[in-house]
Amino acid sequence: MKQSEFLKTVMPFKDKVFRLAKRLLVSTEEAEDATQELYFKLWKNKNKLADYNSIEAFAMTMTKNYCFDRLKSKQASNLKLVHSNYQENGTSLQKRVELNDSVSLVHKLIENLPEQQKIIIQLRDIEEYEFEEIAEMLQINPTAVRVSLSRARKTIREQLTKQHNYGIS
């Protein structure tokens, strides 16, 4: 596989790889390093890529595994929590503050989900993968993907409702 063919094959999903890494590692710098490391590994094994049905699914699985390895390593204790702020032009200051708070709260709620639910919600709701693709990446049943996604969304919805109602039932 030549460089131009490799780039045509793997570059279209570079942003998805980065977003998954950022969701798991939180730090932008760590996510950039993970993305770079993944692409280096893909380049080293470029001749084996034709053996895979979906190179994108393979890359996402590699990203997930690499991020888990990073989180398990001793260096993971140095990772710090960094949140990006959501901005929308043309809204009042109060509305922007409320939106930023809501986006930050959703990020925190997603971070508190179990690992599998966190990955599934990232892949389905943010990266927009199909259930079968997610099941293949995580090596689980598509029904289990649906159940985990449903539970994750329900947990986030309940926590958001609780937060917005200030704990009042």
Domains of the chain: 1-82 (1.10.1740.10), 87-169 (1.10.10.10)
Q: Which residues of 98-110 are buried (b: 16+ CB within 10 A; e: fewer)?
A: eebeeeeeebebb
| Top-ranked range on mean pLDDT: pick from 20-24, 69-73, 86-90, 164-168 | 20-24
Q: How high is the pLDDT of residue 97? A: 77
The predicted-structure confidence for 105-149, as pLDDT tens digits, reads as follows: 888 889 999 999 999 998 998 888 999 999 999 999 999 999 999
C-alpha 163/C-alpha 41 separation (Å) is 43
Token pair belonging to 3: 């460089």
Query: Residue 75: which pLDDT band, with cuts at 50, 70 and 90?
Result: low
Of 72, 59, 54, 53, the closest CA to residue 20 belongs to 59
pLDDT for residue 76 is more than 70: no
Mean pLDDT of 61-76: 82
Q: Is pLDDT at 84 greater than 70 in this prediction?
A: no
0.85 exceeded by the pTM?
no
Q: Say what the pLDDT of residue 77 is.
A: 57
Q: Is 140 exposed, middle or buried (0-12, 13-18, 19+ CB in 10 A)?
A: middle
Query: For 73-80, what is the mean pLDDT?
Result: 57
pLDDT tens-digit readout, 102-116: 788 888 889 999 999
